[in-house]
């Protein structure tokens, strides 16, 4: 029965080839992480391939990933890469039982892919970045070759008389021993790599812990009593650090040492180009402001918006000192391109940055140095503009240029060149599909129209008339504003809809628009059932 026996052969090949392939892949990754830990953690193969995938992912898919996986999007991506790698490793392992050399060469191909990805990263520091992928692949190729040899010796051949029980038993033990040694060695390499990678950020962590923020020359105006409504379920006016959304392309959060950090300002119309240290920035008069930051990927009713008390250097003053003038006063540059240590580029309009609003190089967030996640040691913020055109984290370079001459990262990916934040209102409570009891139900939430302020919020239940919500105090035009509405809930299913009007009197549009290319629009509504 050739069918059955070839199926058996296939099974026994898979039983040896699959672990051989997986162990080779594990060894390759472990050695790569060890080398990356010693050289540069951000040059590890999973990180660089993941980064390359992120940069090449179409905007729609990226938006879908942010929507579906939220802040776990990067974990999902890395697990996806590992899953694809595992499948390929199994196939390569089985293949290498009969083609040892070709199998090992196959592993080296992965090394080339990793090395190419490492060199293509915008934050690549040079040829050394290929080392993790190349050395990892060499270790993986060698492992696969040796395991495939051990497996070949352990494999029952077609002619049973040639494989005496004794020899077969010995070979299987040989393969198991080789596999065991490989596992232990690779696991040790991976652990050591993790340890070394952790030590890499030590200087940065220490520099953040020892940073004492100066007092603001211009402190934030005291929050008016009543900016915070006492309604259970409403977002807090100041978003605590742990709840502040995070959106960026960084697979490993850059840990920048404040002592060696520099910010360079240069480009078109810059008469006196300059490089600043952090101490030089901190020696300037700082201002402190409550500012709401919003992501262009935020869906109607979505979570990617937050308000913090930011401390920072006024950016317009710094630009003026270097000789920059806004286009309306004869300046030649209309775009400011901020570049981060990880190679991200964000472009802001010079006119808005210098029009008197509190555009900041922020160093503090809610009374502490910026968290690493949010851009330590310095990030940019421009009230009124979406994060992707204004809020560069881990900033290290500001170049004055024109919108005609240069498209930054997100614009290359078809997002709009200019993107003021659209007026939005969000119902925080009740939650969608809640079952509140009949009687008085407090509907409440936040509304934002950064740099225009919120002048009115209205609520509509089902197809009823629009009713004015009660507005909480307005802290300033750059922050969101809370609102609440006492609804007399009657049994049945109801749709509650909210809309806001900004400080200029412009009502929020009902027109639904997707997040791409310049931010979602439309009214937020929730459906609830009153039992």
Residue 147's nearest CA partner among 28, 30, 25, 17 is: 17
Q: Which is nearer to Mo ion, 343 or 387 (CB)?
A: 387
Give the tokens for residue 200. Answer: 């890499």
Residue 428 CB, nearest approach to ligand MTE (Å): 18
Asked whether 401 and 267 are in contact (CB, 8 A), the reply is yes
| Closer Cβ to ligand MTE, 366 or 429, answer by number | 366
CA–CA separation, 502 and 523 (whole Å): 14
Q: How far is the CB of 66 from ligand MTE (least distance, A)?
A: 9
Q: Which of 392, 475, 500, 520 binds ligand MTE (CB under 6 A)?
A: 392
* Placement of tokens 């049973």 in the chain: 160
Please, which residues bridge with residue 263 across strands? 276
* CB of 391 vs Mo ion, minimal distance in Å: 8
The nearest distance, CB 45 to ligand MTE, in angstroms, is 21
Report, in Å, the least distance between residue 494 CB and ligand MTE.
33
Residue environment code for 417-426, b if the CB has 16+ CB neighbours within 10 A, otherwise e = ebbbbbbbbb
Q: State the minimum distance, in angstroms, from the CB of residue 415 to ligand MTE.
A: 9
Distances (CA, A) of 409 to 255, 339, 340, 419, 531: 21, 10, 11, 14, 50
Site string for ligand MTE, 268-307 (x = CB under 6 A): -------------------------x-x------------
Are 479 and 441 in contact by the 8 Å Cβ rule? The answer is: no
CB neighbours of 265 closer than 8 A, spacing ≥ 6?
273, 274, 275, 276, 318, 319, 322, 398, 400
Pick the closest to residue 335 from 322, 356, 351, 323 (CA basis): 351
To the nearest whole angstrom, how small is the minimum distance from the Cβ of residue 294 to Mo ion?
8
Stretch that binds Mo ion, among 251-259, 276-284, 331-339, 380-388 (CB under 5 A): 380-388
Placement of tokens 């996640």 in the chain: 373
Based on the shown chain and the rule CB under 6 A, indicate whether residue 241 belongs to the binding site for ligand MTE.
Answer: no
**What 8-state DSSP symbol labels residue 512?**
-
Q: Taking CB under 5 A as the criterion, which residues in 386-405 touch Mo ion?
A: 387-388
Q: Is residue 387 a contact residue for ligand MTE (CB under 6 A)?
A: yes
The residues in 290-319 that bind Mo ion, with binding defined as CB under 5 A, are 295-296
Q: Which residue number places its CB atom closest to ligand MTE?
A: 387
CB-based contact 51:117 (threshold 8 Å): yes
- Contacted entry of Mo ion, ligand MTE, none for residue 235, CB cut-off 5 to 8 Å set by kind: none
Report, in Å, the least distance between residue 61 CB and Mo ion. 16
Tell me, by CB under 6 A, how many residues bind ligand MTE: 18
Binds 340, which of ligand MTE, Mo ion, none (CB < 5 to 8 A, cut-off by type)? ligand MTE
Cα Rg for the chain, rounded, in angstroms?
Answer: 29
Task: Determine if 248 is a binding residue for ligand MTE (CB under 6 A).
Answer: yes
**Binding map of ligand MTE across residues 463-502, x = CB under 6 A, - = no contact:** ----------------------------------------
Q: Which is nearer to ligand MTE, 51 or 269 (CB)?
A: 51
Whole-angstrom Cα distance, residue 349 to residue 338?
A: 11
> Which residues sit opposite 450 in a β-bridge?
none
Binding to ligand MTE by residue 325, rule CB under 6 A? no
Name beta bridge partners: 161. none
For tokens 């308000």, name the residue. Answer: 307
Q: Which residue is nearest to Mo ion (CB)?
A: 295
Q: How far is CA 93 from CA 12, 86, 182, 293, 431, in A?
A: 12, 10, 15, 49, 51
Strand-pair partners of 401: 335
CA pair distance 384, 421, nearest whole angstrom: 6
Q: Candidates 141, 247, 281, 319: give the one binding ligand MTE (CB under 6 A).
A: 247
Q: One symbol per residue from 343 to 372: x for binding ligand MTE (CB under 6 A), - otherwise; what is it?
A: -x----------------------------
Map the footprint of Mo ion across residues 81-100, applying CB under 5 A.
none
Q: Is residue 409 involved in binding Mo ion (CB under 5 A)? A: no
Position among 353, 391, 461, 526 found at the interface with ligand MTE (CB under 6 A): 391
Taking residue 6's Cβ as centre, other Cβ atoms within 10 Å add up to 11
Count, residues near Mo ion per rule CB under 5 A: 5
The residues binding Mo ion (CB under 5 A) are 247, 295-296, 387-388
The residues binding ligand MTE (CB under 6 A) are 244-249, 293, 295, 340, 342, 344, 374, 387-388, 391-394
């Amino acid at each position: 029965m050739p069918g059955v026996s070839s199926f058996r052969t296939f099974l026994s090949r898979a039983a040896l080839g699959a672990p051989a392939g997986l162990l080779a892949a594990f060894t390759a990754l472990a050695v790569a992480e060890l080398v990356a830990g010693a050289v540069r953690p951000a040059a590890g193969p999973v990180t660089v391939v993941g980064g390359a995938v992120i940069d090449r992912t179409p905007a729609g898919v990226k938006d879908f990933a942010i929507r579906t996986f939220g802040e776990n999007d990067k974990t999902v991506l890395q697990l996806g890469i590992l899953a694809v790698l595992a499948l390929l490793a199994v196939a390569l392992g089985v293949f290498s039982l009969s083609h040892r050399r070709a199998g090992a060469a196959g592993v080296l191909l992965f090394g080339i892919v990793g090395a190419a990805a490492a060199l293509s990263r915008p934050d690549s520091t040079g040829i050394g970045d290929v080392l993790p992928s190349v050395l990892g692949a060499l270790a993986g190729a060698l492992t696969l070759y040796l395991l495939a040899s051990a497996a070949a010796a352990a494999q029952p051949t077609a002619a049973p008389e040639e494989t005496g029980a004794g020899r077969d038993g010995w070979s299987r033990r040989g393969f198991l021993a080789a596999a065991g040694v490989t596992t232990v060695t690779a696991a040790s390499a991976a652990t050591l790599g993790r340890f070394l990678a952790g030590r890499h950020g030590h200087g940065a962590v220490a520099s953040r812990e020892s940073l004492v923020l100066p007092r603001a020359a211009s402190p934030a105006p005291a929050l008016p009593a009543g900016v915070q409504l006492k309604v259970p379920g409403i977002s807090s006016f100041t978003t605590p650090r742990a709840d502040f959304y995070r959106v960026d392309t960084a697979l490993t959060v850059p840990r920048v040492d404040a002592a060696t950090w520099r910010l360079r300002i240069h480009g078109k119309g810059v008469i006196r180009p300059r490089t600043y240290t952090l101490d030089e920035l901190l020696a300037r008069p700082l201002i402190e402001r409550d500012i709401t930051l919003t992501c262009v990927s935020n869906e109607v009713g979505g979570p990617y918006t937050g308000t913090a008390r930011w401390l920072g250097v006024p950016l317009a003053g710094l630009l003026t000192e270097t000789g920059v003038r806004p286009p309306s006063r004869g300046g030649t540059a209309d775009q400011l391109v901020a570049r981060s240590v990880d190679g991200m580029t964000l472009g802001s309009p010079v006119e808005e940055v210098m029009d008197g609003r509190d555009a900041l190089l922020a160093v503090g967030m809610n009374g502490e140095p910026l968290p690493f996640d949010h851009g330590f040691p310095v990030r940019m913020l421009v009230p009124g503009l979406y994060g992707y055109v204004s809020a560069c984290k881990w900033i290290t370079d500001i170049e004055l240029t024109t919108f005609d001459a240069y498209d930054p990262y997100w614009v290359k990916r078809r997002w709009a060149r200019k993107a003021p934040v659209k007026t939005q209102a969000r119902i925080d409570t009740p939650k969608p599909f809640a079952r509140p009891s009949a009687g008085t139900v407090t509907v409440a939430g936040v509304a934002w129209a950064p740099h225009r302020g919120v002048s009115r919020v209205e609520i509509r239940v089902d197809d009823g008339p629009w009713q004015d919500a009660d507005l909480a105090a307005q802290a300033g035009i750059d922050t969101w504003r809370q609102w609440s509405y006492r609804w007399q809930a009657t049994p049945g299913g109801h749709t509650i809809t909210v809309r806001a009007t900004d400080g200029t009197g412009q009502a929020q549009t009902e027109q639904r628009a997707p997040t791409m290319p310049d931010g979602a629009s439309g009214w937020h509504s929730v459906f609830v059932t009153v039992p």
